[in-house]
Chain A
Amino acid sequence: EAGVTQFPSHSVIEKGQTVTLRCDPISGHDNLYWYRRVMGKEIKFLLHFVKESKQDESGMPNNRFLAERTGGTYSTLKVQPAELEDSGVYFCASSRLENYGYTFGSGTRLTVV
């Protein structure tokens, strides 16, 4: 089966601009997660979708971040407006509903200058 796909793989934007990251989970995986790793620190949880519903968004840092998962398929994570501290690698992962095992994507490296 195809893996979790994220794009773009890299994005460089200026402070104040908007960026949208996309994640395509493995087909049939109802759970979808977003994580990010900032400045080589620990990977931190952002949020968890079950199908199209936000199950847990306790890790979202502030209201500049908006995640959606229309139709329970792919998901987007929009940062608007971007700040310097948003630079990092954003990972997406998916799993089947009954399974705690994740499959991660390769990540999107976001650089805000």
Chain B
Amino acid sequence: GDSVTQMEGPVTLSEEAFLTINCTYTATGYPSLFWYVQYPGEGLQLLLKATKADDKGSNKGFEATYRKETTSFHLEKGSVQVSDSAVYFCALSERDTGRRALTFGSGTRLQVQP
């Protein structure tokens, strides 16, 4: 079945540092890929997405590129802020089957220190 693997946290960075959170996936079809973020006390929010190979999703300074050859969708940000402290989830959904369920990774907690 489908699966998503992302790096374990917590990831602790200083403000303005460069961020990479690795995500790789296994899927039977040709999935759409997502990054969700959960800020303290809030629900999951879609951060960015990509639906086909080589697409780059971007939002709020975060970027991730759909790499079909390496089955990866790593999240990056050039300069993190304290307000980016949250839990980040990589996820996929299968488009070919029409099944709408998301398959998530285990989440990576990011802590940004001033």
Q: Which residues of A contact B (CB under 8 A)?
A: 3-4, 31, 33, 35, 37, 40-45, 48, 55-56, 58-59, 91, 93, 95, 100-107
Contacts and interface: CB of A to CB of B under 8 A. Distances in A.
11 contacts: A4-B43, A33-B100, A40-B107, A42-B4, A48-B101, A91-B43, A100-B32, A102-B46, A102-B102, A105-B43, A107-B43
Given A41-B106, A42-B106, A43-B107, A59 B101 contact: yes
Interface of B: 4, 32, 36, 41-46, 89, 91, 93, 99-107
Nearest to A107: B43
Contacts of A3: 43
Contacts of A56: 99-101
The 3 closest A-B pairs by CB, nearest first: A104-B44, A43-B104, A45-B101
Nearest to A103: B43
Nearest to B91: A43
Contacts of B91: 43
A96 B93 CA distance: 16
Nearest to B105: A42
Contact of A42 (B32, B45, B99, B107): B107
Contact of B45 (A33, A37, A59, A104): A104
Contact of B42 (A55, A95, A106): A106
A41 B4 CA distance: 12
B93 A106 contact: no
A45 B105 contact: no
Contacts of A91: 43-44
Nearest to A47: B101
A31 to B, nearest CB: 7
A100 B102 CA distance: 10
A44 B91 CA distance: 11
Contacts of A58: 101
A30 to B, nearest CB: 12
A93 B46 CA distance: 12
